[in-house]
Chains A and B, each alone.
Chain A
């Protein structure tokens, strides 16, 4: 069965530090998608990225970058030069468990201190 593990429950960094959030997944599917969402204190989960398992190229979007390693089943997320506004809970997710279902990790709470 599909599973997503975010081993880091909470991370605290000082502003401008780089931080990496880990995501390890399990799936029986040969092709699949991986997602990251951000949940700021306001509550709504905000979509950050979707990655197709066919594409192992790393992706960069501004201060955000993602490292997809199919060989180790990991899809890690790095924030460069973190800012206070990056403080949120970050979730990794993968489709699984049936139609329309996604398996979410338990999330990593990131605190960026000024």
Chain B
């Protein structure tokens, strides 16, 4: 496989369920991201991992819990979600330099469409 792969592509869960989203990148990148895409809103960065260390957490509710066991895999663990959490969750990866320049190109997966009932 190539690029960034996300599973599952679609997920329906109740508010009391626990589920996980998975992302895998085959590009040898050293940074991975979770973005949330809601209707008519700009993409929201949720978490960033660089070299498997979380470097950014945009005050996301604790019902979202990321995990990055190695540079190729990224998980988003979900529990006790709310209906407003229904959205497309996009994973991305990039190759970042020691000094942030803003030049990095993001490679995105196709997303996991989450519906919370």
Residues of chain A at the chain B interface (Cβ within 8 Å): 4, 29, 32-33, 35, 37, 42-47, 50, 52, 91, 94-107
Contact between B111 and A32 (Cβ–Cβ < 8 Å)?
A: no
Contact B110–A33 (Cβ < 8 Å): no
CB distance from A97 to the nearest CB of B (A): 8
- Asked if residues B33 and A100 are in contact (CB atoms below 8 Å), the reply is yes
A32, A37, A102, A107: the one contacting B45 at CB < 8 Å is A102
CB distance from B14 to the nearest CB of A (A): 24
Interface centre among A43, A94, A105 (most CB of B within 10 A): A43
Besides A45-B90, A99-B55, A101-B48, 13 more A-B contacts (Cβ < 8 Å) are A43-B9, A43-B110, A44-B90, A44-B109, A45-B106, A52-B103, A95-B102, A95-B103, A98-B56, A100-B56, A100-B96, A102-B45, A102-B106
Q: A98-B56, A99-B55, A101-B56 are in contact. Are A106 and B106 (CB under 8 A)?
A: no
Most buried by B among A52, A100, A106: A100
Question: Nearest Cβ in chain A — how far from B68, in angstroms?
Answer: 13
Q: What A residues does B110 contact at CB under 8 A?
A: 42-44
Which residues of chain B come closer than 8 Å to A46, judged between CB atoms? 108
- Provide the residues of chain B in CB contact with A96, threshold 8 Å: 102
Q: What are the residues of chain A within 8 A of B41 when measuring CB–CB?
A: 106
Contact with A50, one of B33, B42, B103 (Cβ below 8 angstroms): B103
Known: A42-B110, A45-B90, A100-B96. Contact between A32 and B102, CB under 8 A?
yes
- Quick check: B31 and A100 within 8 Å, CB to CB? yes
B42 & A106 in contact (Cβ 8 Å cutoff): yes
> Contacts of B90 on A, CB cut-off 8 Å?
43-45
Let me know if A101 and B45 touch, CB within 8 A: yes
Query: What's the least CB distance linking A56 to chain B, in Å?
Result: 17
Q: Which of the residues A32, A47, A107 comes within 8 Å of B106, measured between beta carbons?
A: A47
* Chain A: CB-nearest residue to B43: A104
Contact with A along B53-79 (1 / 0, CB 8 A): 001100000000000000000000000
Taken residue by residue from 19 to 57, chain B's Cβ proximity to chain A (1 for < 8 Å, 0 otherwise) reads as 000000000000101000000111101001010000110
Contact of A45 among B40, B42, B55, B108 (CB under 8 A): B108
